[in-house]
A and B are shown apart, each in its own frame.
Chain A
Amino acid sequence: MAASRTLPEALAGAARTDAGYCFVSGDTDRWRSYADIRLASLRVARSLHEAGLRRGDLVALVLPDGEHFLVSLFGASLAGATPASLYPPPAIGELSRYVELTAAILRASGARAVVTTRVLAPSFDRARRGCPELSLVLCHDDLDATALEPDVWPALDDIAFVQFTSGSTSTPKGVALTHANLSANIDAFGGPSAVATSTDDIGVSWLPLNHDMGLVGMALGALYAGRPCVLLPPQAFVKRPAAWLRAITRHRATVSFAPDFAYDLCVRRVNDLDGLDLSSWRVAGCGAEPIHPPTLAAFSRKFAASGFRDTSFLPCYGLAEHVVAATVAPLGRRPRIEQISADELTARRVAVPHVGDGRSIPLASCGSALPGHQLRIAGEDGRPLPERHVGEILLAGPSVMRGYYKEPTLTAETIREGWLHTGDLGYLSQGELFVCGRAKDLIIVNGRKYHPQDLEWAVDGLDGVRRGRVVAFGAVRSGGADRVVIVVEPTGTVPPGVLTDAIRREIGDLFGLYVDDVALVRSGTVGRTTSGKVQRAATRTRYERGELEDETLKASARD
């Protein structure tokens, strides 16, 4: 295994190879060697230094373009600053609301600079009034000073970057990873016991680079190993899923990861299989959201004729707090599926193979922990559970994040005695992990995680909503994305239909997300005495039992 190295060291190493990134735009491929990328990054580093940024300053990156994002990230790192990735604006929605939301993160995290596009820069400049520590709003294409070799190199224990996964609350969640974290995860994941990459491998990815699987799993994984990686804009994939498969065909790619929804999108929307050749695709990774075995089966069926092999599927489990990957299934094996009795799972929290009548759920094995890492399934008392018992997934080892950026309390709640409490539920069967739910209040739609408190914050400010009387949650649905539900106590000053529309519009604008159900409930339904977490769980239970329905109906009847 390669020695631990910092991001600037890995970049310098990659610059000595012939490999590089290929940026795809439409049907055009543009290769840039890692040496070129490093040179451009050194120019950014010099510019940031000249602008007054110093070691440890947080530099927020709001850059939708892949090349601009990577060069700015590397540049900030070479300058000794701490780069932080933020979500770029959604494809639809009001820019002003997006900037407001993002400014809240910049304020709370104490960011010194934001590097963004010429279009977004004026909005961030205006937002500076509310962010006392934000002294610089920079356009990426102005960062073109003469390249100079850095005089200081970061230490392995310095923060390599911060990935913000949460938006609007007063405490944004920024996952802070050290260079040692990054190096350990990348080497274990690419190593012989996991993906077993070599310099002959070619990666293809359309994943967003502000997301761990896109940035670390694909782009940095390739850079650290000095092998090529082809990058497509996420929107190009979503618009035309065939663009992903065509890029794999064109480049004879061997490694490509995506969430479940991407495989589903290909099954539903790729109609023209002419000219597709997926026979080079050695590792078709699947992670970042619950894996639905029927999706994998449908993908294999549809693309078998294009040379796809179901032994290429590599189900994984991971999360940003653990860099990216935590467990990975054995290479070259058809996904291992267990058909589990749904009743036993909910009633006794035991995963019993399904026989006879009753509902059942198919689950895919996500394999075992990466070498040098540990996994444990714990009961509510924190003690390890035997096989087939469902408990919280805990992780330990060199990939466990440093913590949430400037959030010691949150960090101490999440990492206890060296164990990362993932908030995900799973069980072990023959030593392999099956993920079967969530203890944390996360809503997952199309591979992206949304924090309910962000949605609640957005709705709480609207006219016609009683302050603090909003609960958001994801009603988990087997075989599909979560249903987004928002329960609100109305003040009665705004007609229910108008209020429902306003709530949907707000969430659509801010997150590009559709609210499946807005439930307007009688006052007193959503208490405010207990914690958000307790409140959410209680409201969700009542919602799922149908106990909130009457109130909703009464509200719409008055409409």
Chain B
Amino acid sequence: MTGPASIRIEDGVLDALKYVSRRPIEPTLDNDLVADLGFDSLQVLELVAELEDRFEISIPLDNLPATRTVAQVVAEVVRLVGERTTG
């Protein structure tokens, strides 16, 4: 998926990050969830729930350990939204 749909997803993910964070943040795609944005494992799960609600997807927790950056989160959501609309 490219174009407007993936940009909407990117905006949605950035907004979800700000919503879940307990301190003011201005996330960018290359930010690391832990080192840059200060997410602990609790907040990562909170983010997962928030993204599932916003995009009506189900995010498998097995993929989380490999997910480090905002760009990876966006890519995962793009993929799952794609599966939902085509599947």
Contact = CB atoms under 8 A, between A and B. Distances in A.
A514 B61 contact: no
A508 B34 contact: yes
Interface residues of B, number: 21
B45 interface: yes
A513 B35 CA distance: 10
Interface string A63-103: 00000000000000000000000000111111100000000
B38 A239 contact: no
Nearest to A95: B65
A514 B38 CA distance: 6
Nearest to B32: A505
A340 to B, nearest CB: 27
Interface residues of A, number: 25
Most chain B beta-carbon contacts within 10 A, residue among A92, A95, A504, A516: A92
B35 A508 contact: yes
A501 B46 contact: no
A89 B41 CA distance: 11
29 contacts: A91-B41, A91-B61, A91-B64, A92-B39, A92-B44, A92-B64, A92-B67, A93-B65, A94-B65, A95-B65, A119-B62, A235-B45, A238-B42, A239-B45, A240-B49, A445-B40, A501-B32, A502-B35, A505-B32, A505-B35, A508-B34, A508-B39, A508-B40, A512-B40, A512-B42, A513-B40, A513-B41, A514-B38, A514-B40
Given A92-B41, A240-B49, A502-B35, 10 more contacts: A91-B41, A91-B61, A91-B65, A92-B34, A92-B67, A235-B45, A238-B42, A239-B48, A505-B34, A516-B38
Interface of A: 89-95, 119, 235, 238-240, 269, 445-446, 501-502, 504-505, 508-509, 512-514, 516
Interface of B: 32-36, 38-42, 44-46, 48-49, 61-62, 64-65, 67-68
Q: Which 10 pairs between the two chains have the least Cβ-Cβ distance?
A: A508-B34, A512-B41, A504-B35, A505-B35, A238-B45, A514-B40, A91-B41, A501-B35, A239-B45, A239-B49
